[in-house]
Amino acid sequence: MAKEMASRRGYAVEVFTPRYRRELGIRNQESGVEMHYLKPLLSYGKAAILPQLLWRLRRFDIVHVYYPFFGGAEVAVLARKLWKFKLILHHEMDVVGEGEKRDVPLFASKRGTSLFFTWHTRKILPWIIKNTDCVCVLSDDYFMNSDFGRLYKKMGERFPTWRVVPNGVDVELFRPTNFCHPEPTHQSESLVRGRLREGSRDSPSAVGGRRMTELPTILLVAGLDRAHYFKGVHVLIEALRILKKRGVNFMCKIIGDGDMRKVYEEQAKQVGLKNRDVSNFAAQNLETSPFSIVFVGLVPHDELPVHYRNATVLVVPSTGRIESFSIVAAEAQACGLPAIVSDLPGVRVTIEDGVTGLKVKPGDPEDLANQLEILLMQKDLTRKMGEAGRKRAEEFYSWTGIGNKMEEIYKKV
């Protein structure tokens, strides 16, 4: 958003963020955006108390805060009272305690953290909202099912104006090229066709840029650390076990890294999936290695489009309401790739169900396996969904369109 407003629209934009690591510079400039990395007075995880914002924000007409920002949003409200600028609060997600980790291996609830989140939501968040000129939300679906939505219903006319402004995608970087889809590899293709929901029809057209291979490819892009416990990697691995049992050929690529990677690799091994050596990945013969899973590790952002184009379907098997939007589903659609996402508020509206992808029950590997089987088998259906996904990304998630929305909001406030 900052780059869009600065480089393309001529606004003077500065970004303030905590300096979590000593090696980060104090400030730099990129695409017309001046960056400030501030040393926290106190930090815990991603929360950081930044009292220097109190005087640093005095020069601005508009301050745009992405929430949650513990230690920053509160100071921004105090600064607004002093300097009389306009404050926009952009709701990215609710703050959810760690109690939801109970269904994920190796996690234990930390009651103290959950109590703090609950106290902050009940006592501090209403005060922040009351002192905000406009609230931006990622979708009306997530908003109405969130803590912000509950406060909106409670506060009524006292709640500030709110507008839907989703996260954006560089649709020039994330774009499709010509491709060929893998042929179906399951003997019961006719049975799979029978499971397609009413109204789905095949299309001979092609988008996307995926590599011709005998194996359809499943892609997941997510953090593999404890902070991203809700990404549902364990659900996907169990769904892959079910697909293998059914005789559905596939390979799966998981992009991301973190302290849970070894746990997921061990889970994959226990269910009989072949762990592939990433160092030899490009040279291996994909046609002779069904039921394999590749942990690719971290991939630079500008290299992600290649992985989207070389896949058959993206999966977003999130398990908890902390997930409010799926940027990877938006990126995948921009590349002409259908996505399967969990039926959670905010996440589910990133796609158009049955048109650009499919929904699954959160935490249900059987349902995920069923939906994967449909898209792995139906090459013409995935092509049609890919076409529709590209159009959806251009319409809803391009930075040009989102910049237009945001500029209109800036002018109104």
Residue 227 is predicted with a pLDDT of: 85
Q: What is the mean pLDDT of residues 128-148?
A: 97
Residue 209 is predicted with a pLDDT of: 40
Which residue has better confidence, 131 or 119? 131
Q: Which residues of 350-372 are buried (b: 16+ CB within 10 A; e: fewer)?
A: bbbebbbbbbbbbbbbebbbbbb
pLDDT tens digits, 143-163:
999 999 999 999 999 999 999
- Band (pLDDT 50/70/90 cuts) for residue 277 is low
Residue 177 is predicted with a pLDDT of: 80
CA distances from residue 295 to 81, 266, 275, 304 in whole angstroms, order as listed = 49, 12, 8, 14
Which residue has better confidence, 344 or 103? 344
Give yes or no for residue 331 having a pLDDT over 80.
yes
Give yes or no for residue 377 having a pLDDT over 80.
yes
pLDDT tens digits, 10-43:
999 999 999 876 544 455 666 789 999 999 999 8
Structure tokens at 192: 């799979």
Which residue has better confidence, 16 or 200? 16
Which residue has better confidence, 200 or 270? 270
Domains and CATH numbers, the chain: 2-168+398-412 (3.40.50.2000), 189-396 (3.40.50.2000)
- Band (pLDDT 50/70/90 cuts) for residue 44 is confident
Only one residue has tokens 């305690």, namely 97
pLDDT tens digits, 58-104:
999 999 999 999 999 999 999 999 999 999 999 999 987 554 444 44
Rounded to the nearest integer, the mean pLDDT of the chain is 85
Task: Count the alpha carbons within 13 Å of 131 in the hemisphere toward its beta carbon.
Answer: 19
- Band (pLDDT 50/70/90 cuts) for residue 47 is confident
Give yes or no for residue 343 having a pLDDT over 80.
yes
**CA–CA dist 218, 237 (Å, integer):** 11
- Band (pLDDT 50/70/90 cuts) for residue 362 is very high
pLDDT tens digits, 291-321:
899 999 999 999 999 999 999 999 999 998 7
Structure tokens at 53: 């914002």
Q: What is the mean pLDDT of residues 231-259?
A: 96
**Percentage with pLDDT > 70 across the chain:** 81
Q: What is the residue-wise DSSP string for 73-94?
A: HHHHHHHHHHH--EEEEEE---
Range in 124-133, 208-217, 235-244, 392-401 the model is least confident about: 208-217
Question: What DSSP element (H or E) covers 295?
Answer: strand 292-297
Q: What is the mean pLDDT of residues 343-371?
A: 97
pLDDT tens digits, 161-174:
999 999 999 999 99
Residue 182 is predicted with a pLDDT of: 42
- Band (pLDDT 50/70/90 cuts) for residue 263 is very high
- Band (pLDDT 50/70/90 cuts) for residue 357 is very high
